Structure 1
Amino acid sequence: MSILLEVTGLTRRFGGITAVDDVSFTVGEGSACAVIGPNGAGKTTLLDLVTGFTTPDEGTVRLDGQDVTGLAPHRLPAKGLLRTFQSARLVPLLSVRDNVMLGAHRFTRAGFLSDGLRLPRTRREERALRARADALLDFLGLHPFAERPAAELPAGAQRLVEVARGLAGGPRILLLDEPAAGLDDTETAELADALRAVHAEGIALVLIEHNMDLVAGVSERILVLDAGRVLADGPPDAVRNDPAVIEAYLGAAA
């Protein structure tokens, strides 16, 4: 399996606090990896470093062999890397379909004038985006909600809409920041089914998550962070039984 994402020695300090401390890991083409750890372990900061929302003090991020360290977030989708956030960042009053179509904006070529005049090229692109969005809504079982405003959907469906919007951008790797946050057991199970379906399509996943059932059900490999450093890295069963991991979680709960 070829390496798609390679993170080497990432470090980020905020004042006297080292939030991410010399973290290295790789993600293979089409693989599924989870990043877990106690609250404050540096998980979201690590994701922000990988996706260009924060610039590292040290270290590099390579995507398919190309150095993308500190590259502006809006430039990464064209290279095949997209992410979601802890809270669904949907446009509440737009329909579900329109929200998903927004994720495919990088495929449009018509300019402002063409949009304003509704020229044929603009209409062709809009039809193509609509078809792309509808295919993704079908894929994730969301088509019954296509015309409804995103704000009317329950939390679980909104998460799936955000996943669909990410997929609309044509990712080779999709990074998800706590996608199960706020979901009940049924919604989490539906999300797990959706992520397994995405993975089955050959899209690599990096999942930051606290829900261990979701992590174990989706991921082939788990990276554990504690106080910004890598505590463990390996298959789910090995990581869950690692004494250092157990101690870190028990310590966090104490």
Structure 2
Amino acid sequence: MSPLLTVRGLSRSFGGVAAVQSVDLEVEQGTIRAVIGPNGAGKTTLLDLVTGFTKPDMGTVDFDGHQLVGRSPRDLPSLGLMRTFQSARLVPSLTVRENVMLGAYRFTRARFLSDALRLPRTRREERELRSRADELIGFLDLTRFADSRATDLPAGAQRLVEVARGLAGAPKLLLLDEPAAGLDDSETRELADVLHAVREGGVTMVLIEHNMSLVLAISDQVTVMDAGKVIADDVPSTVREDAAVRKAYLGVAS
């Protein structure tokens, strides 16, 4: 079986500084891939290149048989690819439920006129979106916040709303940028359980994460970046003992 996501020779420089250098990456369907590394390693830039928010200088990105380089980020949900961001990007004026519903709008067929006239199709689709949103909100233990403005929530809860919105699009691949940021130890353990359940539901994931306890608990494969390059790529137990990884994180050679 071909990998769900294949990255080949992906590179991008900014002002002569190589942020991502000839990165190769394969993500098998049904797995969780962690991308780790110190600050400034190029991890978020890598996600931006994969999802079209930044144009690469070189390289290719293949997702489920589709070449992504040159595509708009707006095209990706219809292909089955969703992502979250390092800083939660929620709509301030909308409730938690409404923000989650936004993630599923690719499934709707109603158009502007029927929306304006509140025709039966529009009302039916809105009920379906609401039902799906409420299911995901419950899944992530956010029901008590469902009718609250999303940006009034604590930072950790806002990140979970972003995860719910990503899942609302029924993705084949979900890219998560530091999903545990702002979560305490108990919330991080709950997130690990959630992500395990998401994978069991058939969603492949790539996550950027600094919380090593989460990475070691849920990842099938770990890619380590430093100064824009991949310095290790293996199962979590092997990466944890890698001398180059320890040096990049701790400044020690062993």
Q: Above 0.5 in TM-score?
A: yes
Per-residue deviation at 1:153? 2.1
CA drift at 1:16? 1.1
- The answer for the alignment partner of 1:178 in structure 2 is 178
Q: CA deviation at 1:11?
A: 0.5
Q: Which residue of 2 aligns with 1:90?
A: 90
Deviation of residue 197 (structure 1)? 1.6
Contact 1:54 1:70 (C-alpha < 8 Å) held by counterparts: no
State how far apart, in whole Å, the 2-side matches of 1:65 and 1:165 are: 25
Q: CA deviation at 1:104?
A: 0.8
- Provide the rounded CA distance (Å) in 1 between the counterparts of 2:76 and 2:154: 30
Report the Cα offset of residue 232 of structure 1. Answer: 0.3
Native 8 Å contact 2:37 2:225 kept in 1: yes
| 1:23-38 equivalent positions in 2, closer than 5 A | 23-38=23-38
Give the gaps of 5 or more residues in structure 2.
none
Per-residue Cα deviation, 1:80-105 (whole angstroms, up to 9, x for no partner): 11100011111233211111101111
Contact kept in structure 1, 2:49 and 2:55, CA below 8 Å:
yes
Shift of the alpha carbon at 1:184?
Answer: 2.1
Once the two structures are TM-superposed, the CA of residue 147 in structure 1 deviates from its matched residue by 1.6
Percent of residue pairs bearing the same amino acid type = 67
Are the aligned partners of 2:101 and 2:130 in contact in 1 as well (CA < 8 Å)? yes
Instruction: Find the counterpart in structure 2 of residue 124 from structure 1.
Output: 124
Correspondence for 1:49: 49
**Residue type of the alignment partner of 1:97:** R
Q: How many Å separate the matches in 1 of 2:152 and 2:12?
A: 39
Q: Flag as ranges the 4+ runs of structure 1 deviating above 6 A.
A: none
Q: Name whichever of 97-106 and 184-193 sits farther off.
A: 184-193
Helix, strand or coil at the partner of 1:190: helix
Instruction: Kindly report the root-mean-square deviation, in angstroms, between the aligned alpha carbons of the 2 structures.
Output: 1.4
- 1:219 matched residue in structure 2: 219
SS in 2 for 1:92: coil
Report the CA distance between 1:151 and its aligned residue: 2.5
Spell out, residue by residue over 1:53-106, the C-alpha distance to the aligned partner (whole angstroms, 9 max, x if none). Answer: 001110000011221113110101110111000111112332111111011111
Match of 1:160 in 2: 160
Give, in whole Å, the separation in 2 of the partners of 1:161 and 1:194: 13
Q: How does 1:1-254 map to 2 (within 5 A)?
A: 2-251=2-251
1:106-161: CA deviations, max 9, x gaps? 11111111111111111111111111111111222222322222133222222111
Q: Is the 8 A contact 1:6 1:26 kept in 2?
A: yes
Q: Deviations over 1:152-206 (max 9, x none)?
A: 3222222111111000111000001111223222222222222122112110010
TM-score normalised according to structure 1 size: 0.95
Amino acid aligned to 2:242? D
User: Quick one: which amino acid aligns to residue 60 of structure 1?
Assistant: T
- One-letter amino acid of the structure 2 residue matched with residue 92 of structure 1: P
Contact 2:156 2:181 in 1 (8 A): no
**Superposition TM-score, scaled by structure 2 size:** 0.95
| SS state at 1:76 partner | helix
Say whether the 8 Å CA contact 2:33–2:223 is kept in structure 1. Answer: yes
Distance 2:24 2:200 in 1: 26
Counterpart code for 2:230: V
Q: In 2, Cα distance between the equivalents of 1:251 and 1:70? A: 38
Aligned length: 252
Aligned equivalents of 2:93, 2:56: Cα separation in 1? 36
